[in-house]
């Protein structure tokens, strides 16, 4: 879909920003460009929509050398999202989103209708359409930037550090939203970031660049974590990569053991009877976990009293078992659930969030060993 063939960019001052980049971006996936500052990520991205022309080599989009297409025609098929959003301050949100359709000659009504659809698609309420960009939060502005880039329904989306300027919580939301959108839209997305965690979370494939505009490794995230090509990539990928690689292995082989549950509001006496190894998960009326009770917390409490919030210890992370309609958890999720739980038992839930059982760290590591032995773990 997008192909770099020995693409090199040397600026007039002699800086080689991109050095003989050869790489194929598969259609319909998210490809991440990641690397330290100044390694040529943005320059590579801009060669795709001809904001930068290669000094030598070629870039092809849809099998065609980008130099053969007039810039305006090329860019109609390529959405572009940047960190500073580039929204027009004196136009309403709706008019900002409608920019490209209007430029392409759509009637105003149709362009506005499309803009309203897109506002909804990126998760913004319709009334924000009448505001001006400065009246939105940073995260909302980024969503508008994405909506605007999608307005002409381009098959390709270039995103240059689009989420870098927002706080970590909003950033995680925007990332989740992009993954959701991508499931629906199936665009070919090229995404530049300097954040390896973002690259691993979002990317179907990740290209790691080193300074001097040289491609160091181009691989799937799990392979990058499991088999970094050299010391540079290993150190760039960072600490805990063995643990993070567990995020790509499904937890379906982990046996889910029984766990004692007690109802929030039930009697302390009944809760004491239910404890197993001194612990029980407290659940609400839909069997969703709200925390744990322990023998030590209940000791000295009147048996007639109700299990109230004050008696509940907050739980660890949860992990979702493979269930119809659900998103199966990973070994990392299962291990983290066990390690973060006050009882050392990780709580397993189904797609509705109801408790189905528990796992220990030992269970998870044994499942990992079994998967390795069965050749299910890439090595
Ligand atoms: N117009 C220009 N003239 C000269 N050098 C340039 C120009 N644009 C970029 N460069 C240089 O090319 C190199 C690559 O820049 P580029 O912006 O592609 O890097 P990057 O990996 O996107 O960096 P960052 O993460 O800091 O945004 C840098 O050394 C930069 O200084």
Q: What is the pLDDT of residue 378?
A: 64
What are the angstrom distances between the C-alpha of 155 and each of 109, 115, 335? 24, 17, 39
CA nearest ligand 1 atom 7, residue: 11
For the chain, percent of residues with pLDDT exceeding 70: 98
pTM of the model: 0.81
CATH number reported for the structural domain that contains residue 43 in this entry: 3.40.50.300
193 lines ligand 1 (CB under 6 A): no
CA nearest ligand 1 atom 2, residue: 11
Residue 317 has pLDDT above 60, yes or no: yes
Instruction: Tell me how far the alpha carbon of residue 42 lies from the centroid of ligand 1, in angstroms.
Output: 7
Q: Which residue's structure tokens are 């930068």? A: 52
Is residue 305, in this structure, part of any structural domain at all?
Answer: yes
Is the domain of 78 the same as that of 164?
A: yes
Range of the domain at 280: 261-373
Domain boundary at 183, 204, 239, which? 239
Read off the pLDDT of each residue in 294-307 and give the average, rounded to a whole number: 92
Is residue 161, in this structure, part of any structural domain at all?
Answer: yes
Which ipTM score applies to this complex? 0.96
Instruction: Tell me how far the alpha carbon of residue 37 lies from the centroid of ligand 1, in angstroms.
Output: 8
367 lines ligand 1 (CB under 6 A): no
Is residue 33, in this structure, part of any structural domain at all?
Answer: yes
What are the angstrom distances between the C-alpha of 189 and each of 25, 37, 172, 204, 272? 9, 21, 18, 10, 54
Is residue 274, in this structure, part of any structural domain at all?
Answer: yes
Q: What is the rounded distance in angstroms from the CA atom of residue 149 to the CA atom of residue 83?
A: 13
Q: What is the pLDDT of residue 379?
A: 59
Is residue 256, in this structure, part of any structural domain at all?
Answer: no
34 lines ligand 1 (CB under 6 A): no
Is the domain of 233 the same as that of 265?
A: no
Count of domains forming the chain: 2
User: What tens digit of pLDDT does each residue of 57-96 get?
Assistant: 999 999 999 999 999 889 888 988 888 778 899 999 999 9
Residue 3 has pLDDT above 80, yes or no: yes
Q: What is the pLDDT of residue 252?
A: 83
User: What tens digit of pLDDT does each residue of 219-255 get?
Assistant: 999 899 888 999 999 999 887 888 888 888 888 888 9
Is the domain of 214 the same as that of 266?
A: no
Q: What is the pLDDT of residue 85?
A: 72
Is residue 250, in this structure, part of any structural domain at all?
Answer: no
40 lines ligand 1 (CB under 6 A): yes
Instruction: Tell me how far the alpha carbon of residue 197 lies from the centroid of ligand 1, in angstroms.
Output: 22
Residue 102 has pLDDT above 90, yes or no: no
Is the domain of 302 the same as that of 228?
A: no
Residue 326 has pLDDT above 60, yes or no: no
Instruction: Tell me how far the alpha carbon of residue 368 lies from the centroid of ligand 1, in angstroms.
Output: 42
| Ligand 1 atom closest to residue 18's alpha carbon, by position in its atom list | 14
What tokens appear for 143 in the block? 């969503």
Instruction: Tell me how far the alpha carbon of residue 179 lies from the centroid of ligand 1, in angstroms.
Output: 28
Among 163-172, 331-340, 363-372, where is mean pLDDT lowest? 163-172
User: What tens digit of pLDDT does each residue of 9-44 get?
Assistant: 999 999 999 999 999 999 999 999 999 999 999 999
Is the domain of 178 the same as that of 312?
A: no
Select from 9, 10, 15, 210 the residue to mutate for testing ligand 1; criterion: most ligand atoms less than 8 Å from CB. 15
Q: What is the rounded distance in angstroms from the CA atom of residue 302 to the CA atom of residue 337?
A: 31
β-sheet with 188-193: strand ranges across: 78-82, 156-160, 188-193, 30-34, 205-210, 214-219
Is residue 378, in this structure, part of any structural domain at all?
Answer: no
Q: What is the pLDDT of residue 324?
A: 63
């Amino acid at each position: 879909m997008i192909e770099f063939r020995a693409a090199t960019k040397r600026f007039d001052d002699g800086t080689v920003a991109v050095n003989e980049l050869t790489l194929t971006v598969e259609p319909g996936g998210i490809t991440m460009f990641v690397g330290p500052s100044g390694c040529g990520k943005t320059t590579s991205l801009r060669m795709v929509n001809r904001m930068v022309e290669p000094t030598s080599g070629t870039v092809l989009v849809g099998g065609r050398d980008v130099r053969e297409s007039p810039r305006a025609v090329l860019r109609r098929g390529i959405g572009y999202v940047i960190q500073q959003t580039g929204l027009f301050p004196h136009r309403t949100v709706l008019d900002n989103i409608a920019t490209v359709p209007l430029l392409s000659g759509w009637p105003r009504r149709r362009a506005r209708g499309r803009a309203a659809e897109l506002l909804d698609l990126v998760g913004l309420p319709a009334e924000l359409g009448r505001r001006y960009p400065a009246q939105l939060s940073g995260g909302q502005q980024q969503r508008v930037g994405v909506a605007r880039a999608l307005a002409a329904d381009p098959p390709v989306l270039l995103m240059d550090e689009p989420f870098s300027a927002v706080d970590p919580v909003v950033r995680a939301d925007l990332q989740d939203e992009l993954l959701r959108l991508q499931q629906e839209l199936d665009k070919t997305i090229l995404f530049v970031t300097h954040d390896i965690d973002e690259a691993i979370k979002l990317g179907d494939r990740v290209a790691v660049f080193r300074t001097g505009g040289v491609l160091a490794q181009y691989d799937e995230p799990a392979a990058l974590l499991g088999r970094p090509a050299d010391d540079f990539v290993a150190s760039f990928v960072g600490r805990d990569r063995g643990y993070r690689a567990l995020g790509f292995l499904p937890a379906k082989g982990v046996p889910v053991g029984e766990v004692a549950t007690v109802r929030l509001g039930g009697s302390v006496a009944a809760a004491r009877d239910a404890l197993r190894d001194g612990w029980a998960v407290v659940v609400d009326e839909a069997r969703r976990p709200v925390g744990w009770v322990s023998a030590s917390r209940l000791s000295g409490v009147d048996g007639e009293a109700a299990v109230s919030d004050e008696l509940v210890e907050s739980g660890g992370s949860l992990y979702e078992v493979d269930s119809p309609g659900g998103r199966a958890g990973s070994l990392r999720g299962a291990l983290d659930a066990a390690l973060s739980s006050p009882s050392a038992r990780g709580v397993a839930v189904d797609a509705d969030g109801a408790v189905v059982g528990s796992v220990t760290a030992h269970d998870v590591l044994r499942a990992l060993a079994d998967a390795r032995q069965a050749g299910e773990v890439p090595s």
